[in-house]
Homo-oligomer: A and B are copies of this chain.
Amino acid sequence: MTTRIQRRNRRRILEAALDVFSAQGFRGATLDQIAGVAGLSKPNLLYYFDSKEAMHRALLDDLLDIWLAPLRAMNPDGNGREEILAYMRRKLQMSRELPRESRLFANEVLQGAPRLADQISGDLKRLVDDQAVVIRRWISMGQIAAVDPYHLIFSIWALTQHYADFDAQIRLIRDGADPMDGADGFLETLFDKLLQP
C-alpha cells in the first residue's frame, strides 16, 4: 500500500537524483547533494530507498523504456523514408526535452554500462535486431538507399544524443546560444540525402 506522501517523496527524490546523477555521474554524486536538491534529510532518503545504488537502479529501470519508445514506435508497414525520418525527429525531440536522461544514459555507457549490460544485450538488442530486418525490407523494396541498418540506427543515436550530452561544449562554441538551434533542419537534410535511393 503506497500513501500519498510516499508517492510525493519518492518522486521528489528520483527527480533530485536524476539532477545530480546526470550531472556528476554515480560516484560523483553524494547523498547530501541529492538530499539538498530534494529538500529532504539524508536519512529520509534512505527511508524511501535502501541505498544510493537503489536510487540509481530505479532511475535506470524507468529509463530504458522511455529511451526505446521512439524506436519501438517505428511502423514496419509505413513508408521507409518517412518512418526513419520520423524516428529521428522523435529522438531529437527527446534530447531537447529529456537532456538529463540522455546524460544519465551516456554516463552509464561511457563507464562500460556495468548496470545496464543485461538490458542492453536483452531488450535493446532484440529491438534493434528486429528493426534492422524492417529496414532491410525497406531497402529491398527500393524505398530507401542501401545502407547498413545498424550503422544507420547508431548514426541517429549519435547525432541526436550529441546535442544533449555535449551541450556544454556546443554552448561554449556558439556563445551560449541554444545548441539545438538549426539542428532539426540540418539533420532532416542529412538523413533525407542519405536515404535517397
Which residues of A does B touch, CB under 8 Å?
23-28, 103, 106-107, 109-113, 117, 120-121, 124-125, 128, 147-148, 150-152, 154-155, 157-159, 161-163, 165-166, 168-170, 172-174, 182-183, 185-187, 189-190, 193-194, 196
Query: Complex formed: what's the CA distance from A172 to B128 in Å?
Result: 11
Report the Cα distance A67→B185, complex, angstroms.
Answer: 28
Question: Assuming the A-B contacts A166-B157, A194-B194, are A173 and B25 also in contact, with contact meaning beta carbons closer than 8 angstroms in the complex?
Answer: no
CB neighbours of A110 from chain B (8 A): 25, 103, 106-107, 110, 165-166, 168
Interface majority SS (helix, strand, loop, mixed), chain A: helix
Could you say which residues of chain B place their CB within 8 Å of the CB of A121?
A: 172-173
Separation of A32 and B114 alpha carbons in the complex (Å): 21
Q: How many copies of this kind of chain does the complex include?
A: 2
Report chain B residues within 8 Å CB of A23. 111-112
Nearest CB on B from A193, distance (A): 5
Closest residue to A158 on the B side, CB-wise? B162
Q: Which 3 pairs across A and B sit closest by C-beta, in order of nearness?
A: A158-B162, A27-B28, A151-B186
Shortest distance from the beta carbon of A120 to any chain B beta carbon, whole Å: 4
